[in-house]
Amino acid sequence: MAGLYPDDKIINMFGTDVKYPGLDPVTQKFSDGDFSNPLIKPSYIPAETFNLILDNIEGLIRGLGFSPNNKDKDQLFRAIADSRFPIGTFYRQGPDEDEPKERGLPGNWEQWSYRAIQYEIIPAASYPTGTISKYVQGSNISANTYCIYDPVDSDRQILKSKNAITSTGSQPNPIEWDVLSDIASGVIRVGRKKTHALTEDDYIVGDTIQYNGQDYRVIGVLNWAGKFSAIEGLNRRTFNGGIQKDAVREIWGKTYAVDSELGRPMTASEFGVFDISTTELNSIFTIGNNIKAAWWFFYNNRLLLTASEHIVRNLPIRIWRRYI
């Protein structure tokens, strides 16, 4: 048969013609013969067949970048697995899933959820002057003050206070702070592999690095932690455009009313999130000192979804990366 199996030949052994290596006449594969019939002999396995098998296995191992030897029993597995999961490979581990079996390969797999995947950098000359302190809960901050916010499990960035802040919270309030990379000029977002080797430690905010032959300072260290993945397109930032933050539509509304004469029904108009109950409007009541009033209602669901349909659903995953 075609393939790796040898062709039968007729050879003479001690005056008797025999088929060598004596493959099964039906399957054309090696056979144990028939233990109940000594005339049906088992197959021989020629040395050239063994050599062919070993040569092919050795060629495969070498082709995959490994050096074969005559001791290790798992070298073929390791060579194949390594080719499927080369250094730099990502592995996403879902809830209740085992850690990657590939961690048994030579080298090391590290949790990559909190490791830098992208840096925000600006020309060194544009970096804020003076010492920049770390963000600390309970601090009193002056307006236009820079702080480094560097949690373990999120992005590490430079913030700038919009106004004076009394007793900062456990996390920066986006209403009170700007992210420097959002307001500075000349910001570049660059992947870690374009700035240093995969196996090297992450840069930290404030580091000076060389990029395209110029000095830059790191103002942001971005990672996977705590983010949703979104396919590029529509209202998403451009690919490699950095982190896109959540936002809601501005809640607005206005009303006015006219009471031509006390004690008579008011006329009113409504816009946006406000609603005026006609029944209540026509039932003007006195709240003291002959002041007439009517009910005004505020409904944010006129602009935003509410209840369960507006609850964001997510399922955390863990990122692994083979880095050595």
> Which pLDDT tens digit goes with each residue over 8-62?
888 887 888 888 888 888 888 888 888 888 888 888 888 888 899 999 999 999 9
On whether the CB atoms of residues 257 and 294 are closer than 8 A, the answer is yes
**Is the Cα dihedral 40, 45, 46, 48 positive or negative?**
positive
On whether the CB atoms of residues 21 and 30 are closer than 8 A, the answer is yes
Structure token pair of residue 140: 């009193």
Helix (H) and strand (E) counts in the chain: 4, 19
Q: How far apart are CA 61 and CA 55, in angstroms?
A: 10
Is the predicted pLDDT of residue 280 greater than 50, yes or no? Answer: no
Tell me the HSE value of 127 on the side-chain side, using a 13 A CA sphere: 22
**Is the Cα dihedral 163, 164, 166, 171 positive or negative?**
positive
Q: If you write DSSP's letter for every residue of 253-276 in order, what string do you get?
A: EEEEEE-SSTTS--EEEEEETEE-
Gyration radius from the chain CA atoms: 37
Structure token pair of residue 4: 């790796």
Compute φ and ψ for 119, nearest 5 degrees.
Answer: -115, 145
Q: How far apart are CA 256 and CA 174, in angstroms?
A: 32
Q: How far apart are CA 15 and CA 89, in angstroms?
A: 62
Please state the domain extents for the chain: 102-248+314-324, 253-303
Q: How far apart are CA 10 and CA 18, in angstroms?
A: 6
Percentage of residues in the chain having pLDDT higher than 70: 70
Q: How far apart are CA 275 and CA 288, in angstroms?
A: 24
Pairing verdict, β 133-134 and 16-20 = unpaired
Compute CA distances 286 → 197, 261, 265, whole Å.
Answer: 75, 14, 12
Q: What is the pLDDT of residue 125?
A: 95
**Residue at 116: amino acid letter:** A
> Which pLDDT tens digit goes with each residue over 61-104?
999 989 999 999 989 988 887 887 777 777 778 778 777 666 66
> Which pLDDT tens digit goes with each residue over 188-224?
999 888 898 888 899 999 999 999 999 999 999 998 8
On whether the CB atoms of residues 296 and 255 are closer than 8 A, the answer is yes
- The residue written with tokens 């000359």 in the block is 125
Is the predicted pLDDT of residue 260 greater than 60, yes or no? Answer: no
Q: How far apart are CA 82 and CA 158, in angstroms?
A: 39
Q: pLDDT-derived band of residue 113, with 50, 70 and 90 as boundaries?
A: confident
Is the predicted pLDDT of residue 107 greater than 70, yes or no? Answer: no
Q: Is the pTM of this model over 0.85?
A: no
Q: How far apart are CA 247 and CA 286, in angstroms?
A: 41
**Residue at 202: amino acid letter:** D
